[in-house]
Structure 1
Amino acid sequence: MIGRDAELAALLDAVRNPPSVVFVDGQAGVGKSRLVTEFAAAAARGGAPRVIRGSCQPLPAPFPYGVLLDCLSQCGDLLREPGPVTGALRDHLPELADRLPPAPRALGDPDAERHRIFRAVRDLLRSLGPAVLVLEDLQWADEKTRRVLRFVLADPPPELSIVATYRREDLPSVAPFGHAFHLPHGVTGVDLVLRPFGATEVRAMIDELVGAAVTSHRFAEAVLHETAGIPFVVEETVRALSDPVRDVRAEGDLAQRILAGIDVPPSVADTIKERLAALPGAAQVLTEAAAVLEVPETLEVLSAVAGEATAAHLIASVESGVLVEETANRYGFRHNIARRAVYASLPGPRRRELHERALTTLSALDRVPVARLCAHAKAAGLKAEWLRYSELAAKAAEDANDVSTAVDLLVEVLSDAETSPEVANRLATKLCDHALTGLPGGMMTARIESLLADPRLAPDVRAQVHLWFGLLLQRETGSVDRGAEEIALALGLLGDQPERTVRGMAAMAGPYLGSASIAEHQRSLDRVEGVIDHLPTRELRTALLATTLGGRLIAGDPSTWERIARLPSPSDVHDPEELHHLARAHCNLADACSWIGHYARAREFLRDGIVLAKRVGSSYVVGTAEATAVRLDWLSGRWQGLGQRLDRLIETYADLLLTTDLHLTRGWLAAARGEWVRAEEAFQAATGAHPAAQVFPVGISAAGGMAGMLLSRGKAAAAEEHVRRGVTMLRSKGAWVWSGDILPQAVDYYLAVGDVGAARLLVSETATGLRGVDAPLAQASLAACRARLTAVTDDRDEADRLYREAIDLHWDLGLSYRATQLAEQAEGETITDAAVLEALTQTYDALGATVDAARCRHRARSTGTATPSPRGRRGYGSELSPRERDVARLLAGGHTNREIAQALFLSRRTVEEYVVKVRRKLNASSRHDVHL
C-alpha cells in the first residue's frame, strides 16, 4: 500500500476506542477497498477486534438490509447469548437459525415489525462482543439499511465499531446514512477523505508494480497527467504497457508518447461508458464535445461545440463525476484516460462533425494555441486549414524549444501525398534545419531518410537532405563510413552553390564528433575559412564563423583569439537570422572555453550569447548556454541547488543532443555526493547509445568520471575498462587538449595496479601532445600527474614543489574542488595532522562534497581526534541533521546500507541507526518510501 499510512493509523486508532464509526469517502478507484483490506490485515496482526466485511451492490432495486445481513451471516462463531428479540432475524439469517432464539409472533403492524427488526439488529450486534463492521460502497445501500444504521448508532453496542466507505458523488442524498446524522456523546467519529496520489506516490506505486525502483520522474509526471493520480487507473495503465520495466524509465516527451500509444484499459473504459450512459442525451453530447476539445473549456465553448447543451446539462455531467471543474468556469475530464475512452467511443462521422465545430469555435477566440487548431483541422478532414495551421504550429513549437513537436508536425505534412511540391520543398528545408538537435533513438535519422525518395523535392533540397542524413548517420547511429558517403554525395550535388557547400563542410569540420583526428578537423576548418571572405553576405559569414571559431578553440588552436575579431559587433547586427548566428558563435566559444579551461572568458562569452539569443528567441541556443553554465558552476564549486537545476534542464531538453553534457555534470555531482547508482546512470547516458557517434569531450570525461568514482571505492579492476576507453579515445583522436578529465584518473589507475611505466608513458604522450596547444585545464592536470608520479619515487621535496605548482594552477583556474582534492593528496596517505584534516573537511562540506568530507572525518577519527560538526546547532529535533540528510539522500537513490556505509565512511551499525532515525523523521514506513 502506497501513501495511506496516516489513514490506516486513524482507522486502527478508532477501532481501539469503541464504540466508533469511521466514514471513508473517495471517488471510484481511489483505493477505499485497498485501504480496508490493509486495515483488516493490520487489525488481525495487532490483536484488534474481529473485522467483518460486506459490500453493497449496484442493483436497480437493492435488497432490504442486504449488506447488514451479509455481514451478520458470517458471525455465528462470535454470538454470545443473543437476546429474545434477535429471533426476529431467524428467517433473514438461516446460517444462524440454530443459534438464535425462536422467532416471535408476528405483530401485524408494519411499523412495529420494522422497529422489532431494528432492535434485533442492534441486539445481535451487541451480542458479538468486540467487532468491526466494514460496510463498503454505502452509496448503493437500500434505504432500510441506512435507517437501521442510524438507529443502531443512536445507542451503539459498547464494543462495536463501524467502518463505512462510499463515493460522495453517487450518494442518493447529502450524507452516507441518508441525512445529516450527529453521533451521540461517547461515540468516536472519524471522517477520512482519500485523495488521488501526487507525483511522488504515483512514482512509488509504479515502482512497486514493475518490481524495481526505476521509474523516471518524467514518466511518473506523465502518468499523473493521464490518470489524475487515481490508483486504480494508474495500475491499469501500467499493466497496459508493452514493456513496463523499459517504458517507465522514459524521459522527456518519450514518456508522454509511450502513454499516448497504449489502448485505454477496458476496465477503465467500461466504467466511464457506464457513467456516460446514465446521463441525459444532451449531457452526453456535451461530454462528447469535452472529449473532442481535449483541454478544459468554458460552458460557452462546450455548448457551441455540442450545439444543444445548457448549464443544466453541464451540471448533470459534473454531478455524475464524468466532468469536473478544473479551474474557474473551465470543465474537463478528471483524467485523460477517461477523455480518451469517451473519444474512442465516438463514431467517425460524429468525431469529424465535432472537430469541425471545435475549429470554428476556437478560431474565433483570442490566444488559442495554434497547435489545437491544427489538430482539429486535421481530424475534421479540412486539408487546406490543416496545412496552414501545421506550419504555424511548427513555428510556435520551435519558439517554445519543443523541437520534437515541431518535427512531428513537419513530418506529418510531408508524409501527406497531397502536399504540393512547393510546400514539400519548403518544409523539407525546415526539417533539415532541425536535423542536429538530437532527437532520441535515431528518430531524426529515420525522418530525414524518408525524404530521400520523395519525388517532389528539387535537386538542391535533395542535396541538403543527403548532407544532413549523412551527418545524422554519423552522430545518431555511429555509421561513420556510410555517413561520409552521403556527405560526399551531397557536396557533389551542391557544387554550384558554394554557400551551402561550405556550410556542409563546416558542419563536418566540428572536431568534437566523428572519428577523424584533431589534425584532420583543423585542416577542414582551414579549407572552410579560406572561402569565408568570398561569401556573398555577412549573415552567411557569421553563420560559418559561429561553427569554425568554436571548433578551433575547443581543439586548442591559440590563433582562435585573433580570429574572433572577425565576428561583427552585436551593436552592428540587426537582422534576426544573423543575430541568431552571432548568439550561437558566442555560446559555442563559451562552450569551448569551458572544455579547455578558460573559465572566466567562458562566462563572458556566455553572458553575451544569452543576451543575443534572447533578443531573437533562439531557445535552442539558450539551451546550449544553460548546459555550459551548469558545467561551469560544477567546476567552480557553485553546487548549491545544482542538482535541481540539472534535473530541470534534463527534463526540458530531453530530446536534444546537449543532454549528454548535462548528464556528465550530473554524474560528476552525484559521484561527489556518494550517489553511485545515479552517477553511473548519468555517465552512461553521457556516453550515449552509440559510442562511435558520441561527443568526444563528453565521452572522454564520462570515462574519467566513472574511473575516478570506482577508484575512490577501491574498485581498480572495474575502473580498467573506463580508463582504457578514455585513453583510447585520446590517442585515436589526438585530442590531448581534452585530457584534463581523464589523465589524473588514468595515472591513479596505473599506479593502483602497479604499472608505473604505463603512467609515465601516458604523461609523456600528453606533454608532447600539448605542445603549442591552448589547454589550461589539461596543463594543470598534467602538472598534478607529474607530482603524483614524483611522490611514488619517494622524492618528497620535489613532489611537494610539484604539488604546490599544480594546486596553484587549479586555484588560478577557479577549480576549488579539484584544488582541495590535490591539497589532500599532497599530504599523503598517512596524514595525521588534525588541523589540516579539519580544514579539508570544512572546505568539502562547504562545497557539498559528501564523500570527500566523510573520508576526512574518518581519517580524523582514526587519529583519535574527532572533526567538529558542521556549523549549526547540534539539536535538530524533527529535522534531519546534515549526516541524516546525507543518509536520506542515498536511501532515496536506492543505495544499500553497505553502500551508504562505504560512501560516508561509517560502520554498518551506525548506518542502520541513521536509517531508523531518517525513517522516523520522514514518517517513511520503509526505506523505499524515503524521498527528499
Structure 2
Amino acid sequence: MPDPAVATPRFVGRDRETAALRGALARPPAIVLVEGEAGIGKSRLLREWLAAPDQPTALVSVCPPLRESLTLGPIVDAFLGIERPLPSERLTELAGALRPLFPEWSTHLPPALPPLDDAKAARHRLFRALDELLRALRVDVLVLEDAHWADEVTLEFLLFVLSRQQSDGLSLVISYRPEEVDDGSLLLRLTSRLPAGVTQLRIALAPMRPDDTAALVSSMLDGNPISQEFTTFMHDRTGGVPLAVEESVRLMCDRADLVFRDGQWVRLRLRELQVPPTVRDSTRERVSRLSPAAQQVLRAAATLAERSSVDTIAMTAGLSPAASRGAIAEAAGAGVLDGDDRDRWRFRHVLAATAVYEAIPLTDRRQFHLLAGRALELLQPPPVARLAHHFREAGETTSWARYAEQGAELAMASGDHTKAVDLLVDLLSWSVLPPADRARVARTAGVAALGRREQVDEVYHRVVRTLRSVLGTPGLSARQQAEIRNPLGRLLITGGEAQAALRELEQAVANLDHDPFEAARAMTYLGWAYAGPWPASTHRRWLDRAADLAARIDSPAHRLNLDGNRAAALLMLGEEEAWDVVAGLPVDGPTAAERLDVARIHVNIGTGALIWGRYADAEEHLAVALRLAEAEQASRLQHNVRLEQANLAWNTGRWDGLAETAAALAEADRDRPAHYLGSVRLLARLAATAGRRRAAEEQFQLVLDESARLGAVDDTLEAAAALSRLWLTDGNSRRALRVTNEPLDTVRRKGIWVWATDLVPARIEALLAEGDAPAATRLADQFARGLRGRTAPAPRAALTLSRALLLTAAGDHARAATAYDRAARAWSALPRPYDALRARERQAEALLAQGRVEPGRELLAAQYEQLFRLGARGDADRVAQRLREHGAEVPRLWRGGRRGYGDQLSPRELDVVQLVVAGKTNRQISRILAKSPATVDQQLRAAMRKLKVNSRTALAVKAVEAGVFADEV
C-alpha cells in the first residue's frame, strides 16, 4: 500500500459535549463556558456546532495572543466580519458612540456623540451602543474564543451583556484555557450572580480516551483501523490531546514512519523511534519539509499572529501575491494553515504558530515585524495596537511611539486606562525617544494612571518608577519636568507616599504658569496639611495662592474642584472660615465627571467634620458623597465613604456590625495603604474596647509605624494616644510618654490643635503619671490657646477632660467631679457616647475619692451597664472590678443570644434615644440608622413607655437624668 494520504481528522469523542452545548443554547439566554488546555479541541467543538444546519445567528470573535491587544479588538473584528448590511433603521442616536471603532460605517451610523469627561461613563455608553448593535443585527449567540487572551474591557462588555439579558435574549459561548486565567480575571465572574432565567453550562474538555484516540488517528488514515499497540503508544505519548495526536500523525506520515500491515496501520520501530514529546518539535519538523516559499509564508503568518489576507501575508513574507497564494495553498494542504470565507489565513493551532515563530532566528525576526507593520499600515482603520507591537519588535522607535500613543488614546477613550498605561510605560521603558517626546509620553502616562480604577498595584509601581526615571532624562526643560511631576505627585498621594508627593508637587508648581488650573490644583494639594514639616501658615499660603489663581479661571467645573478641595484643606487646618465655603458647595453636578468631583469633595469635608466633632455635618456630607458615588458606580469612592461612615459610627456609638464592616473594608483596601491603615485603626479601637489588649496594641503599632513611614503625620496621632493609654494601664508611664513625643511635636510644629482631640488628654495623663504636673498644665493651656476662636466640639470636649485630669492630680476631687460632668455633657452633645461614659466613670471615681461612696457607686454601676451594652466589654469588666472593690454587687449581664430587655432599653432603642437627645428628627434618625420611619417610631414609643414619659422632650430629659446619655436638651 502506498504512503498514507493524511486527511483532516474526523470530529470524535465529543458527542456528549456537543449535545450539551446544543441543549443549553436551545434555552436562551444561555452562557456556555468551554474550558480546556491548549490543543484539547475547544475551537473544533465550536466549529462543528456552528457548521450544523439550522443554527442560530452567531457572531464569532477570537482573541489574539498579542502583547497589547487593542481594547475591544475581538468584538470589533467580529462585527467587521459580518457581510449583511448595517440595519441603520434599527439604531438610535446612541450608536453614534461607535464611530471611533467603525470608521468604515460612517455613512450608516448616527452622528458622533459629544465626548464624556468621565472614562467610566464613556465606557458604559460604548457598551450600550455595542449591545444595541448586537440586537439590531439580530445576533442570537456571541462566541468569544481564547478568552484567556481577552483584554479587560472585552470581558467587562461580556459581563455587561450578561447583566442585561432577558427572556430569549443573547447567549454567550466563551472558550478559554483555565490554566492561563488569573485569580483576579473577570472571566471568573461570568458564572457568579447570574440573572434569573439564564441557562448556565460549563463544558470542561478532557483528553480523549484510548479508543477515541484510535478513532481520530484512523480517520486521518483512510478510515482504516490502527493496531492496539499503536493505539497505546499514541495515547501514552500524546496524553490524548487531539492537537498532539494530529500533529504526531502528520509527522509520522511525513517521515514514512507508518505502514499498513494485516489490515491495520502500525508504526515501524515502535521502541526505537519516539513521537516528539512536544507539538513544537513536531510542527517544526513538518514545516521544514515544505518548500522555502511555504516556510517563508508560515514565518510571516506566525509573526502576524492573527487571521490575515493573502496580500498582508505576502508583504510580510517579502513574496509576490501570486507566489504567496501558492505557498499558502501548500501550507493549507499540509494542514498547517486554515482559511476562512473571507480568504484570511492563520495557523490552525496557536501552538504550531508559536513553534514556527520561536524557530525564526532573532536576526530575522526584526525584518518580519517591520514588514508586518508596513503591511498592516495599509489597512483601514489601521490596527494601532498591532502596529505598535510589530514596530516595537522591529526596533522602529518612531513608528512604535506613534502607534503606541494612538493606541493609548483609543484605550483611554474606551475607559481602559490600564491598557493605555501599559502601552506608554512599555514605550518609555524600552525605547530611546528624544527628550521632548519622552516628556510628552510620560505626562500622558501619568494622566492615564490617575484615571485607573485600580489604585496601588504593580501597574501603579511600574508607572511611578518610570516617571521618576524619565525625570532624570538629560535635556528636559523645567516646564516638561513640571508636567511630569504634577501627575506623579498626585499618584504618590494615592499610594500613601505623602512626604514624597509634597516634594514633587512643590517642584512642579514653580513651572506650571502656562496652565493656571493645574498650578492652582497643585497648590491646593500643597495646602493639605497631612504631611510634611510645614506649619499651618505655610499650607495656608499655598491655599491663598490657589484661591487667587482660581478667581481667574473661567471653567465652572475647575472652580468647583478648586473651591471644594480648598474648603476641605481649610478644615484640616482648623480654619473656621472653611464652613462658609462649605455652605456654598453644590450637592450634585451636571456631568458624570462633576458629580464624581462633588462626591470626592463631600467625602473630604465629611472627614474634616469628623476631626472637628461636627458629626451631624459629617453625616450629611458623607450621605451626599455616597449617593453620587453609587449613582456613578465609583467603587473606590464608595469604599472611601464607607470607611468614613464607619468612623462616624464608631464615634457616635453605633457599633453593631462594625467589626465585620471594618474587616471587610480592610480586605478591600489592601492595595491602598492610607485606607487600609484607616480600617486597621478602626479594628484596633474595637479590640481595645473589647479587652483584646494584644491585638489592639499590635494594630495600633502597625498604624503608627506605617503612617510615619508614609509621611501621613496626621494619622499617627490617634494611634500614639491609644498606645499611650494602653501602656499607662500597665503602669509604664515612661513608655506612654515617649510614644506621644513625636506626634505632639508635629502638632506644635504645625500649630493645628484640632488634630489633638485624642493626643492631648493621653499626653497629660502620661505627664501626670510621671509626676510632671507643670508640663501637663502648660500643655492644657497651649491646647486652649490653639482652639481659641474655633467651634470644634470634639477638641473642646477633650480640653474640658484635660482640665478635669489636672484637678484630679491636684487632689481637688470635688471640682474634678464637676469638671468630668461637664466633659461628659460635652461628649454627649456630639454625640460621642463612649467618651461620655468614660468621663462619667472618672466622675464616679472622683465622687468616691471625696468619700461620697453611695452616689459614686451608683454612677459607676450605671456606667458599667452602659459600657457593656455599647459593646465596650473590656471597659465594663474594669468598671465591674472597681465596683467589687467598693463592696458593690455587680449584676450579671447578658452576653449573647437573643434576649428580652424587660423595662430596660434595648441597644436599638438606646440608639434611637441617643439621637433624640442629639436633637434629631425621626426622619433624620431613620436615615442615620438605615431603618424605616415606622421602625424608628416603634422603637421611640417603646423607649418612652419604658421611661414613663409621653413626649420627645421628656424622653430626652429623663434619659439624661437617668444617666443613659448625659446631656441637656
Q: TM-score, length-normalised on structure 1? A: 0.51
Specify the alignment match of 1:622 in structure 2. Answer: 638
Specify the alignment match of 1:706 in structure 2. Answer: 723
Matched, 1:417 2:436: no
Specify the alignment match of 2:527 in structure 1. Answer: 509
Contact 1:610 1:625 in 2 (8 A): yes
Matched, 1:466 2:354: no
The CA distance in 2 between the partners of 1:359 and 1:719, in whole Å, is: 73
Specify the alignment match of 1:450 in structure 2. Answer: 469
Specify the alignment match of 1:743 in structure 2. Answer: 760
What's the offset of the Cα at 1:469? Answer: 4.0
Of 650, 654, 665, 1:634 maps to 650
Contact 2:425 2:466 in 1 (8 A): yes
CA, structure 1 residues 415+799, in 2 after alignment: closer, same or farther (shift >3 Å)? same
The CA distance in 2 between the partners of 1:809 and 1:803, in whole Å, is: 10
Matched, 1:291 2:179: yes
Matched, 1:836 2:851: no
| 2:680 maps to amino acid | H
Specify the alignment match of 2:874 in structure 1. Answer: 851
Contact 1:597 1:775 in 2 (8 A): yes
Q: How does 1:327-342 map to 2 (within 5 A)?
A: none
Contact 1:834 1:865 in 2 (8 A): no
Contact 2:405 2:424 in 1 (8 A): no
Specify the alignment match of 2:956 in structure 1. Answer: none
Q: TM-score, length-normalised on structure 2? A: 0.49
The CA distance in 2 between the partners of 1:674 and 1:488, in whole Å, is: 45
| 2:447 maps to amino acid | T
Offset from partner CA, 1:465-512 (integer Å, 9 cap, x none): 2234456779979795x8766444422321222111111111111122
What's the offset of the Cα at 1:659? Answer: 2.4
What's the offset of the Cα at 1:627? Answer: 1.8
The CA distance in 2 between the partners of 1:392 and 1:458, in whole Å, is: 28
Local SS of the residue matching 2:539: helix
Q: How does 1:131-146 map to 2 (within 5 A)?
A: none
Contact 1:703 1:723 in 2 (8 A): yes
Contact 2:536 2:750 in 1 (8 A): yes
| 1:576 maps to amino acid | A
Specify the alignment match of 1:687 in structure 2. Answer: 704
Contact 1:515 1:692 in 2 (8 A): no
Specify the alignment match of 1:670 in structure 2. Answer: 687
Q: How does 1:351-750 map to 2 (within 5 A)?
A: 411-412=425-426, 414-417=428-431, 425-432=443-450, 445-453=464-472, 462-469=481-488, 486-570=504-588, 573-656=589-672, 657-689=674-706, 691=708, 693-750=710-767
CA, structure 1 residues 535+528, in 2 after alignment: closer, same or farther (shift >3 Å)? same
Q: How does 1:767-806 map to 2 (within 5 A)?
A: 767-806=784-823
Offset from partner CA, 1:418-446 (integer Å, 9 cap, x none): 99877665333222567996669977643
Offset from partner CA, 1:83-133 (integer Å, 9 cap, x none): xxxxxxxxxxxxxxxxxxxxxxxxxxxxxxxxxxxxxxxxxxxxxxxxxxx
Q: Which runs of 5+ in 2 are unaligned?
A: 1-173, 189-200, 217-234, 243-277, 285-297, 310-337, 339-383, 394-399, 900-969
Specify the alignment match of 2:894 in structure 1. Answer: 870
Local SS of the residue matching 1:813: coil
What's the offset of the Cα at 1:537? Answer: 0.2
The CA distance in 2 between the partners of 1:826 and 1:447, in whole Å, is: 59
Local SS of the residue matching 1:828: helix
| 2:879 maps to amino acid | C
The CA distance in 2 between the partners of 1:391 and 1:346, in whole Å, is: 42
The CA distance in 2 between the partners of 1:321 and 1:708, in whole Å, is: 68
What's the offset of the Cα at 1:759? Answer: 0.9
Local SS of the residue matching 2:665: helix
CA, structure 1 residues 385+851, in 2 after alignment: closer, same or farther (shift >3 Å)? farther
CA, structure 1 residues 509+437, in 2 after alignment: closer, same or farther (shift >3 Å)? farther
Of 860, 877, 880, 2:883 maps to 860
| 2:561 maps to amino acid | A
CA, structure 1 residues 391+416, in 2 after alignment: closer, same or farther (shift >3 Å)? farther
Contact 2:689 2:872 in 1 (8 A): yes
Specify the alignment match of 1:220 in structure 2. Answer: none
CA, structure 1 residues 388+597, in 2 after alignment: closer, same or farther (shift >3 Å)? same
The CA distance in 2 between the partners of 1:649 and 1:612, in whole Å, is: 19
The CA distance in 2 between the partners of 1:711 and 1:517, in whole Å, is: 30
Local SS of the residue matching 1:493: coil
| 1:497 maps to amino acid | D
Contact 2:613 2:793 in 1 (8 A): yes
The CA distance in 1 between the partners of 2:548 and 2:414, in whole Å, is: 37
Offset from partner CA, 1:219-268 (integer Å, 9 cap, x none): xxxxxxxxxxxxxxxxxxxxxxxxxxxxxxxxxxxxxxxxxxxxxxxxxx
User: Structure 1 vs Structure 2: percent identity of aligned residues?
Assistant: 25
Matched, 1:825 2:842: yes
What's the offset of the Cα at 1:558? Answer: 1.3
RMSD across aligned positions (CA) = 5.0
Contact 2:524 2:569 in 1 (8 A): no
What's the offset of the Cα at 1:636? Answer: 1.1
What's the offset of the Cα at 1:744? Answer: 1.2
CA, structure 1 residues 715+343, in 2 after alignment: closer, same or farther (shift >3 Å)? farther
Local SS of the residue matching 2:533: coil
Local SS of the residue matching 2:731: coil
| Greater displacement, 487-496 / 687-696 | 687-696
| 1:745 maps to amino acid | A
What's the offset of the Cα at 1:535? Answer: 0.5
| Greater displacement, 673-682 / 383-392 | 383-392
Offset from partner CA, 1:868-908 (integer Å, 9 cap, x none): 23266899xxxxxxxxxxxxxxxxxxxxxxxxxxxxxxxxx
What's the offset of the Cα at 1:844? Answer: 1.4
Local SS of the residue matching 1:655: coil
The CA distance in 1 between the partners of 2:453 and 2:865, in whole Å, is: 48
| Greater displacement, 442-451 / 853-862 | 442-451
Q: Which runs of 5+ in 1 are unaligned?
A: 1-285, 324-341, 362-372, 876-932
